[in-house]
Amino acid sequence: MGMSVGSDSTHEDEGIVDINTTPLIDVMLVLLIMLIITIPLQTHSVAIDLPQGNPPPSTEQPKLVTVSIGYDNSISWNSEPVTSEAALQAHFEAAAAEGDQPEVHIHPDRLADYKTVAHVMADAQRLGVTKLGIVGLDQFMEGQ
């Protein structure tokens, strides 16, 4: 099959230049068998009982707290200036201790230092505030 006994050439050091395709065919057959086996598994459906209809919209508005960081890195809590780090931490602790936590929206100015914004976010996370987000990102878009 893949063996040459005699040759007409006078050079005995010539190598066989034919590609051995047997391993390639073996691998392709294994892949084909695996594909044939896994296709029926993908066509099975799972029956799920989903709720019908639309749920009524929530009538309660979530409490919002806005933490603003100014261009000079000044921090304000709901438009009231926060004068010290301890006061900011007390606000975050009070917000985290409430049963239904308020949503804390951080609104940094475009010129505020990244260090200040990251510090405020780290304090909020460390003190247990779970509903946290950054708002006002439209000011960072190009052309504004």
pLDDT in tens, 92-134: 999 999 888 899 999 999 899 999 999 999 999 999 998 898 9
Domains and CATH numbers, the chain: 62-140 (3.30.420.270)
Rounded CA separation 103/109 (Å): 19
Structure tokens at 113: 């230092």
CA 69 to chain centroid: 26
Cβ(73)–Cβ(88) below 8 Å: no
Rounded CA separation 131/119 (Å): 17
Report pLDDT for 124.
92
Mean pLDDT of 10-32: 83
pLDDT higher than threshold 80 for residue 77: yes
Report pLDDT for 105.
93
pLDDT higher than threshold 60 for residue 1: no
Average pLDDT of the chain, as a whole number: 84
Cβ(103)–Cβ(131) below 8 Å: yes
> Is the pLDDT higher at 73 or at 39?
73
pLDDT higher than threshold 80 for residue 13: no
Rounded CA separation 90/96 (Å): 10
Report pLDDT for 11.
62
Mean pLDDT of 47-56: 82
- Amino acid making up residue 125: Q
pLDDT higher than threshold 80 for residue 10: no
